[in-house]
Structure 1
Amino acid sequence: MTVTGQTAGTGEPVDGRSLRRAFLASLSGTALEWYDFAAYSVAAATLFGTLFFPSGDELAGTMAAFSTYAVGYLARPLGGFVFGRLGDRLGRKRVLVLTLLLTGTATFLIGVLPTYGSIGGFAAVLLVLLRFAQGVGIGGEWGGAVLLSSEFGDPRRRGFWASAAQIGPPAGNLLANGVLGVLALALTEAQFNSWGWRVAFLLSGVLVGFGLWIRLKLEETPVFQRLAAQGDRSSAPISEVFRLEWRALLAAIFVRVCPDVLYALFTVFVLTYMTSELKMPRGEGLAAVMIGSALQLVLMPAAGALSDRVNRRKLYLIGTIAAGVWPFVFFPMVSGGSFAAVLVGVVLALVIHALLYGPQAALVTEQFSERLRYTGSSLAYTLAGVIGGALAPLLFTALLAGFGSWVAIALYLAVTAVVSLVGVWLARDPEDQLVS
């Protein structure tokens, strides 16, 4: 039996194969790009401070490594501006092939990059440039990946279909942490620090090939095909978003800030906190993050589907409040250095993140009109990344060093929760765009 669904804005039935292929294309591409990003994040938290930014001060090396982590976020708006505009002008599929190639190539080149010990400070310059390219690619990826799946699906199930792109980060994070964890266990510390970490980055070449195979087989979304046939494509989508849909842009930016900071805290900085403050083995932190990420693979589409049945804004409101409160529970709970406590704390934090991140794609994209969706969603995603995720690890490290306490970190996350609550208030309900 062939499963069909109604495509957003067309009223035409779409066969189940196209729906499943669009879902897989969205998921596989974002998983690959977040594998690349997560591999760098873990390496920045544990290795790159020594390999590319050596100094006598461990804190200074970590801060420098996290600075290049931030570069990836700071580069995203450029990707959002360039590829978002192209996505609304040329189509979703073409742009997503370009973003996949850009991010995958940059990650592969990091795997063969000489370190400070070989070419001195020029190694750090090259690392920053490649990290910048990663960020540009991901900046153009997210908006298109969300539309790729959601514009093939029934708008009444937009939360579920759009969640395909949201599964990418935990899938990529799980894969990256798994590869690095296996390498760390299989190799001596000297071997891992010398060449073992490179394997994780070189594997991106295989993943790029698979992602391209999936995306090249997919047709353009029916929504964009209709817009093109009607000649209803914006000639200046960026300026139109800022002029005509500025409230939607603000709402979409604000709702993303808290989840980004929450994710950075419990997948990146938590590794540094465990090793430096709690004196726990690096492998235990990686294990906790991997288990939480594995659960997110199921929880994110479930949360997206739940948001199709209950009010999406109210569900997001509950998740945001939980995110703002959780650090005040987590840090006292793990103060004794117990792996069980860290595991429970990280997993529950990522459950809260899934409650937010699963419906987030639908909540963001439905703020914008069809003809400006790629541009508006990409700008919101990338600009929020600069405000939230880009600076988070740096600020976490600086706050801990400056105040010597986790309280400042928890307060910082609470402030971002307030920002996202304002975004929920500004956002319109999904029912306002049910047929588009």
Structure 2
Amino acid sequence: MTPTSSSTPQPVTVSNDARRDLVGWDPNNDRIWDSRIAWSTLWVTTFNLVLAFVIWYLPGALVPTLGTLTGWNLTESQSYWLLAMPGLTGGALRLVWMTLPPMIGTRKMLTLSTLLMLIPFVGWTWVVTLPEQPAYGLLVALALAAGIGGGVFSGYMPSTSYFFPKAKQGTALGLQAGIGNFGVSIVQFVVPWAIGFSLFGVAGQVAQTDSGERTVWLQNPGLIFIPFAVVGVILAWTMLRSVPMKVNLRQQFDIFSNKHTWLMTMQYVLTFGIFSGLAGTFGMLLNVQFGAQYLTWVFLGAFVGSLVRMCWGPLCDRFGGGIWTFVSGVGMAVSAGVVLFGQITAGDEGPSLGIFMTGMLMIFFFAGVGNASTFKQMPMIFPARQAGGVIGWTAAIAAFGPFIFSMAFNFFSREAVFTFIIVYALACAAVSWFYYARPGAEAKS
């Protein structure tokens, strides 16, 4: 897939059709590239991406409290299944959304995506107000619907890459993904705060806690975010443009014959797969091991990872992504070792909260480094027509992280899960060093 352009630079024009195509757009030609269009596209898309991560993780922020409601009876296993569902649809839908940017254009894709996100926003706002637990299948369906927020990522990021030259893609994609990831920490921060007071005089729900009964208003987060989603639809439709692409289905799928597609998938599963998986299960881990009073701190993991991802883009542009991906793998292995140490040395009183939080925040930190570096590498390793597809594909597979980790913590011990992270991270670090970071590497990037 390549943007349509001529050999002689021509002024960029905007077509009058519904797509509002940027005819003659070529971001790598300074005489054609319009930075104002590129950056406005980035900020509108990023605003909508924040909302996407909010709805993707809204069930995960609400589920630990749902099981305490009077009239409800969620087991720990049922809660983990609900946490897993957004990851399942998020990963599956990314395989769809990775094909949409060249097919329908940025403007239509963003508008449609945000409209669809209103469905789970409204659904979760309504279902938590029910006095008795509804059919479990309804909760599963709403959790699956929340996965739309995870799915759109694989359309948003490749689409943004069409608007920026290669030299700026590390910074642009790092900013977009990093700020977008803040949606996780935003919803995890807002939910414990917002459920504590009445909004618009709407009745709350009674929850059973260790200190007795208390009233919560679980519909408040949805009521707060729905207006922002409406604004996102309006911004997407009125402000965005599309880059016309020559779509060749065979060329879209020839990325799978390139071994680096699979090696970079391996790397991104390490970084974003673990980031998304642990962000989705962090609240349950804290609640089960240390108590619900610590849920107010659950936002810190995603906050650290998102901040690092946003800030590391310029460093990756300067030093290359390969070396930072290697550093990320080693760092995540050491960090998981800290968590594992706290688990296996736990006494009768349970694991140390300090050791657990230190290790977890270290994992999120190094995952953020790797998330930034891998998105710098892919446009450098692959030609322009393939880079967007590779970004979409790797993001799709890594989006299964919440599903995988929810199932892992449901069926395996925490010691086994963090041991696997150590082994996998070291294997990824070795691959990164050999193919992308060492002097004379095959695809130094």
TM-score normalised by structure 2 residue count: 0.77
More off after superposition, 74-83 vs 301-310: 74-83
Q: 2:188 aligns with which of 159, 177, 192?
A: 177
Aligned to 2:409: 396
**1:125–1:168 distance in 2 versus 1, CA, 3 Å:** farther
More off after superposition, 338-347 vs 64-73: 338-347
**2:171 is the alignment partner of 1:160:** yes
Report the CA distance between 1:328 and its aligned residue.
Answer: 1.6
| Distance (whole Å) between structure 2 residues aligned to residue 294 and residue 142 of structure 1 | 18
**1:298–1:424 distance in 2 versus 1, CA, 3 Å:** same
| Distance (whole Å) between structure 2 residues aligned to residue 113 and residue 205 of structure 1 | 15
| Distance (whole Å) between structure 2 residues aligned to residue 165 and residue 237 of structure 1 | 26
Aligned to 2:114: 100
Report the CA distance between 1:276 and its aligned residue.
Answer: 2.2
SS in 2 for 1:173: helix
Aligned to 1:317: 326
Q: Deviations over 1:362-419 (max 9, x none)?
A: 3345554433444433222112333x4321122123222xxxxx43122121233245
Aligned to 1:3: none
**1:134–1:431 distance in 2 versus 1, CA, 3 Å:** farther
Aligned to 2:421: 413
Aligned to 2:288: 276
More off after superposition, 28-37 vs 289-298: 289-298
**2:36 is the alignment partner of 1:17:** yes
**1:271–1:292 distance in 2 versus 1, CA, 3 Å:** closer
| Distance (whole Å) between structure 2 residues aligned to residue 325 and residue 395 of structure 1 | 20
Aligned to 2:57: 38
**1:184–1:52 distance in 2 versus 1, CA, 3 Å:** closer
Q: How does 1:17-96 map to 2 (within 5 A)?
A: 17-44=36-63, 46-49=64-67, 61-96=75-110
Report the CA distance between 1:322 and its aligned residue.
Answer: 0.9
| Distance (whole Å) between structure 2 residues aligned to residue 347 and residue 28 of structure 1 | 25
Aligned to 1:253: 265
Report the CA distance between 1:315 and its aligned residue.
Answer: 0.7
Q: Counterpart of 1:20 in structure 2: which amino acid?
A: W
Report the CA distance between 1:269 and its aligned residue.
Answer: 3.0
SS in 2 for 1:111: helix
| Distance (whole Å) between structure 1 residues aligned to residue 252 and residue 216 of structure 2 | 43
**1:312–1:62 distance in 2 versus 1, CA, 3 Å:** same
**1:239–1:18 distance in 2 versus 1, CA, 3 Å:** closer
| Distance (whole Å) between structure 2 residues aligned to residue 112 and residue 189 of structure 1 | 12
Q: Counterpart of 1:23 in structure 2: which amino acid?
A: L
| Distance (whole Å) between structure 2 residues aligned to residue 137 and residue 236 of structure 1 | 28
Q: Counterpart of 1:190 in structure 2: which amino acid?
A: V
Contact 2:175-2:313 within 8 A present in 1 as well: no
TM-score normalised by structure 1 residue count: 0.79
Q: Which runs of 5+ in 2 are unaligned?
A: 1-24, 199-203, 209-213
Normalized per residue, the structure richer in helix is 1
Q: 2:367 aligns with which of 353, 357, 375?
A: 353
Aligned to 1:201: 222
Q: 1:328 aligns with which of 329, 333, 337?
A: 337
Q: Counterpart of 2:83 in structure 1: which amino acid?
A: Y
| Distance (whole Å) between structure 1 residues aligned to residue 26 and residue 175 of structure 2 | 16
| Distance (whole Å) between structure 1 residues aligned to residue 68 and residue 288 of structure 2 | 15
Aligned to 1:112: 126
Whose radius of gyration is greater, 1 or 2?
Answer: 2
RMSD: 3.6
Contact 1:159-1:361 within 8 A present in 2 as well: yes
Q: Counterpart of 1:308 in structure 2: which amino acid?
A: D
SS in 2 for 1:91: helix
SS in 2 for 1:233: coil
| Distance (whole Å) between structure 1 residues aligned to residue 442 and residue 107 of structure 2 | 27
Report the CA distance between 1:220 and its aligned residue.
Answer: 3.1
Contact 2:46-2:176 within 8 A present in 1 as well: yes
Report the CA distance between 1:300 and its aligned residue.
Answer: 1.8
Contact 1:88-1:237 within 8 A present in 2 as well: no
Report the CA distance between 1:95 and its aligned residue.
Answer: 1.5
Q: Deviations over 1:183-231 (max 9, x none)?
A: 355479826987612221233321212222332244435xx33x4xxxx
**1:64–1:177 distance in 2 versus 1, CA, 3 Å:** same
Q: Counterpart of 2:330 in structure 1: which amino acid?
A: I
| Distance (whole Å) between structure 2 residues aligned to residue 338 and residue 252 of structure 1 | 35
Contact 1:49-1:64 within 8 A present in 2 as well: no
Q: Which runs of 5+ in 1 are unaligned?
A: 1-5, 401-405
Q: Counterpart of 1:299 in structure 2: which amino acid?
A: V
| Distance (whole Å) between structure 2 residues aligned to residue 97 and residue 262 of structure 1 | 29
Q: Counterpart of 1:203 in structure 2: which amino acid?
A: I
Contact 1:257-1:419 within 8 A present in 2 as well: no
Aligned to 2:385: 371
More off after superposition, 31-40 vs 180-189: 180-189
Q: Counterpart of 2:403 in structure 1: which amino acid?
A: A
Report the CA distance between 1:267 and its aligned residue.
Answer: 2.8
